[in-house]
């Protein structure tokens, strides 16, 4: 049976990565947070309200960019810091009455296709992304409580409403009218909301696509599902690891098709998924 060569993957990141990449690797391997300088650099540019803009000079916070920054900070063990907590609170405030998220119309000229305000596919993707990270925050908070403690979990109402929006958007065959990434983020949310039927249907669709899935997508999917507690022995995870083992290069990395820097990020995602 072909398996991922984790030692080779680690060696690839050490050789090809920058200081932030190596800090992410260190945290993933040992749980030791990086230096203040590294984390502060990742937090830079945050707007007073808690979100991050689409560019260094931007003044309007973006849901898509803010979720991306939260993802980066999570890889450094920094979700408990004020910057990430403010960002999560901002996301919670931005939820619409129907449980969804979408960018404000002022961001239309600069938002990418997958985050265009008013676009139904983008709305479902952003809803899955924001709900996923608020779910992760709630899981981390719950993990700090002693057994039996009934302290309210932050963003529980937001995540429940977001999950309902995702559930009501699914097609009868378990597919979703949005991007591939929406599927694994949504499946992770369904799993944590005990919507196991919907989660299983979405995972089944993802499983059918795995044999042809690009390594970058297989890694991101596996890392997201593991982050919310899906078992490493789950059949979707086993299939994802098989796909990643088949596509690993002899130098230990994977081909992102976007250059060395993205290859390192992809390899870190693989390590996060199977560590």
Is the model's pLDDT at 2 over the cut of 80? no
Q: What is the mean pLDDT of residues 242-255?
A: 96
Burial of 254 (0-12, 13-18, 19+ CB in 10 A): buried
- Smallest CA-to-CA distance from 31 within 83, 90, 77, 62 is with 77
* Integer Cα distance of 141 and 80 in angstroms: 9
The 10s digit of each residue's pLDDT in 149-180 is 989 999 999 999 999 999 999 999 999 999 99
**pLDDT of the residue at 260:** 79
The 10s digit of each residue's pLDDT in 196-210 is 999 999 999 999 999
Identify the bridge partners of residue 53 per DSSP, sorted by sequence position: 61
What is each CA distance from 185 to 60, 83, 150, in whole angstroms?
25, 23, 27
pTM for the model stands at 0.96
Q: How far is CA 273 from the centre of its chain?
A: 11
pLDDT confidence tier of residue 1, bands split at 50, 70 and 90: low
**pLDDT of the residue at 275:** 79
Burial of 91 (0-12, 13-18, 19+ CB in 10 A): buried
Is the model's pLDDT at 245 over the cut of 90? yes
85 Cβ partners below 8 Å, 6+ apart?
79
* Integer Cα distance of 234 and 196 in angstroms: 13
The 10s digit of each residue's pLDDT in 43-95 is 999 999 999 999 989 999 999 999 999 999 999 999 999 999 999 999 999 99
**pLDDT of the residue at 148:** 87
* Helix or strand holding residue 192 (H, E): helix 180-192
Mean of all residue pLDDT scores within the chain: 95
The 10s digit of each residue's pLDDT in 251-265 is 999 999 888 789 999
- Smallest CA-to-CA distance from 270 within 222, 234, 206, 204 is with 222
**pLDDT of the residue at 258:** 84
The 10s digit of each residue's pLDDT in 94-115 is 999 999 999 999 999 999 999 9
CA dihedral 64, 67, 68, 69 (to 10 degrees): 120
- Its sign, for the CA torsion 239, 190, 86, 55, is positive
Q: What is the mean pLDDT of residues 121-148?
A: 96
Percent of the chain with pLDDT over 70: 100
């Amino acid at each position: 049976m072909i398996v991922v060569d984790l030692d080779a993957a680690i060696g690839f990141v050490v050789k090809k990565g920058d200081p932030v990449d190596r800090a992410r690797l260190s945290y993933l391997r040992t749980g030791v947070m990086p230096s203040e300088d590294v984390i502060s650099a990742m937090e830079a540019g945050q707007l007073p309200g808690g979100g991050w803009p689409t560019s260094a000079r931007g003044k309007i916070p973006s849901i898509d960019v803010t979720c991306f920054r939260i993802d980066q900070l999570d890889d450094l063990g920094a979700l408990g810091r004020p910057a990430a907590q403010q960002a999560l609170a901002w996301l919670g405030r931005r939820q619409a009455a129907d449980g969804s998220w979408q960018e404000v119309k002022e961001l239309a000229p600069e938002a990418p296709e997958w985050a265009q305000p008013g676009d139904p596919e983008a709305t479902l993707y952003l809803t899955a992304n924001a709900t996923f990270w608020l779910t992760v925050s709630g899981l981390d908070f719950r993990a700090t409580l002693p057994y039996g403690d009934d302290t309210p979990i932050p963003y529980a109402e937001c995540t429940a409403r977001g999950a309902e929006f995702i559930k009501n958007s699914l097609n009868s065959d378990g597919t979703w009218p949005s991007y591939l990434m929406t599927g694994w983020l949504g499946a992770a949310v369904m799993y944590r909301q005990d919507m196991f039927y919907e989660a299983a249907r979405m995972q089944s669709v993802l499983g059918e696509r795995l044999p042809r899935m690009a390594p970058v997508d297989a890694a991101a999917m596996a890392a997201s599902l593991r982050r919310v507690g899906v078992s490493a022995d789950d059949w979707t995870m086993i299939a994802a690891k098989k796909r990643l083992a088949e596509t690993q290069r002899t130098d230990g990395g994977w081909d992102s098709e976007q250059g060395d820097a993205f290859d390192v990020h992809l390899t870190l995602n693989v390590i996060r998924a199977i560590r």
